[in-house]
Structure 1
Amino acid sequence: MTTDEYAEAQAATSTLDDLAYFADMALDLHEEPTAERTVDRIAEYAKAGMRCDDTGILLVHSRRRIETAAATSKNAERAHTLQTELDEGPCLDALTGNESYYLINDTATDERWPRWGKIVADELEVRSVLSIRLETRARRYGSLNLYGSRPDMFGIDDLAVASIFARHASIALAQSQETDGLQKAMDARKVIGIAMGILMERYSIDSDRAFTVLQRYSQTNNIKLRDVAQQVADRRTLPGA
């Protein structure tokens, strides 16, 4: 086998290994029961697959509510928290900026986020960062953030691989959040039905009247209907009755 043929064979083997890795990741993420567990697994897979020091995931719920949903270390979590405190950083810009990713070759010299960069370089020993947006065509979910302790840890090839991670992760997040939403809706219907049954038996009213009582109490006291129903289910009567 010539040198070129050997190199081609090695590249083909590496490609097959990568494909198998992403296939396993996709299956594992699909099988996770909750959105919380899904983001934890995304962070774990990204750290192992990208061979970086730490990873973290920021999720955006509204313009004013951004949270660290997963972090593989306290350093990664602190790097996230500093961005929300200082209102600057690549992970925040990946959420809301014009670019879908931001690459920092050295936080100690990068001038785009000077306050954040100096702190993470000096205190957390984070020197390289790659932040890439998590999104589908329907919505933006957050950002996947990779951290390295040495300058120039991430290049163009790393960006290509991280983009595949982000695509799989975004789909998994979309599916898990949809599943969570359906499960919560089913749970709410169940507890409302239980509460209606309790009121029907206790006050000798029909189902329409029982639902109206729950709804009216919810509106009058500014409490979610599901929470009112849960209180009735727990106490066997309307709160305060």
Structure 2
Amino acid sequence: MLQQVRGAALELLPAADYASITTVTKRRRGRPTKLGSLSADDPVCEQIDALHHQYQQGPCFDAVAQSEPVVVNDVSMETRWPAVMAAIVEHTQVRSMMSIQLTAAGQTFGALNVFAAHSDAFDTQTRDNAVVLATHAAVAVSAATRLESLNRALESRDLIGQVKGMLMERWSIDDSQAFAILSELSQESNVALVQVCTQLINAARHTAPPAPLDE
């Protein structure tokens, strides 16, 4: 989905020569704490991404935390993030930058970044179009994320059900007793319930099932 967003930016924003996505790769209490990047093997975008990570600052990072687009009309004249801007001038031909937050349903997924080889590339109309694109893109990413989470939940439910069935058949216990055994194993080992079930499935393929816990 993020690759599609990046492609749509290049197609729908003629002023953009390059596009990348800054991604939220880690959260704490719902807030982004670690950022990654997606540039589809574009060397220019990869260079700009690398410079942002090297200096831990720049418009692509700032856009993740704010609702208004972050626009750099002339990289060579920009006084914010001076080290990053100087490095971009030295290592790339990019002279204009614009980053827009990707957020939907109360969750920030990252930022859409577009770059141009000449200064003052992004006029008001282009900015408005980019914001509309980012809004629709964020909704699409949110929907894809929810679908992925739902699929993982269904897979986890099926896995837990399979292991409960194994325990019920092995020890002639009911559903609630089997779940209680799995919950206790999870708590005692400090391992997630799904991981406990995965370990039991793997063990069952090679050894006899473990004995039930003493009450």
CA 74–210 in structure 1, closer or farther in 2 if over 3 Å, else same: farther
Alignment of 1:43-58 (within 5 A): 43-51=6-14, 52-58=16-22
- Is 1:39–2:8 an aligned residue pair? no
Q: Is the 8 A contact 2:105 2:142 kept in 1?
A: no
CA 175–203 in structure 1, closer or farther in 2 if over 3 Å, else same: same
- In the alignment, what sits opposite 1:148? 116
CA 188–48 in structure 1, closer or farther in 2 if over 3 Å, else same: same
In structure 2, what residue type is equivalent to 1:119?
A: A
Q: Is the 8 A contact 1:100 1:132 kept in 2?
A: yes
How large is the Cα RMSD of the aligned pairs?
Answer: 2.1
Match of 2:59 among 82, 90, 104: 90
- Is 1:216–2:180 an aligned residue pair? no
Deviations 1:128-180 (A, max 9, x none): 11101112352322211001222222211210110111111011011111111
- Is 1:59–2:15 an aligned residue pair? no
Alpha-carbon deviation of 1:240? 9.3
Unaligned runs of 5+ in 1: 1-37
Q: Is the 8 A contact 1:198 1:232 kept in 2?
A: no
Alpha-carbon deviation of 1:103? 0.8
Alignment of 1:1-80 (within 5 A): 38-51=1-14, 52-60=16-24, 61-62=26-27, 63-68=32-37, 70-72=38-40, 73-80=42-49
- In the alignment, what sits opposite 2:213? none
Alpha-carbon deviation of 1:94? 0.9
User: Which has the larger share of helix?
Assistant: 1
CA 230–80 in structure 1, closer or farther in 2 if over 3 Å, else same: same
In structure 1, what residue type is equivalent to 2:122?
A: F
Aligned counterparts of 1:187 and 1:135: Cα–Cα separation in 2:
27
Aligned counterparts of 1:200 and 1:66: Cα–Cα separation in 2:
45
Aligned counterparts of 1:75 and 1:203: Cα–Cα separation in 2:
61
In structure 2, what residue type is equivalent to 1:85?
A: Q
TM-score under structure 1 length normalisation: 0.76
Q: Is the 8 A contact 2:75 2:96 kept in 1?
A: yes
Alpha-carbon deviation of 1:214? 1.4
Aligned counterparts of 1:100 and 1:81: Cα–Cα separation in 2:
24
Unaligned runs of 5+ in 2: 211-215
- Is 1:117–2:85 an aligned residue pair? yes
Q: Is the 8 A contact 2:52 2:58 kept in 1?
A: yes
Number of residue pairs the alignment of both structures matches = 202
Aligned counterparts of 2:117 and 2:81: Cα–Cα separation in 1:
18
Aligned counterparts of 1:193 and 1:75: Cα–Cα separation in 2:
49
Identity of aligned residues (%): 27
Deviations 1:50-81 (A, max 9, x none): 1322211122242322222x323133133223
Three-state SS of the structure 2 residue aligned to 1:57 is: strand
CA 83–219 in structure 1, closer or farther in 2 if over 3 Å, else same: same
- In the alignment, what sits opposite 2:175? 207
Q: Is the 8 A contact 1:141 1:170 kept in 2?
A: yes
Alignment of 1:123-134 (within 5 A): 123-134=91-102
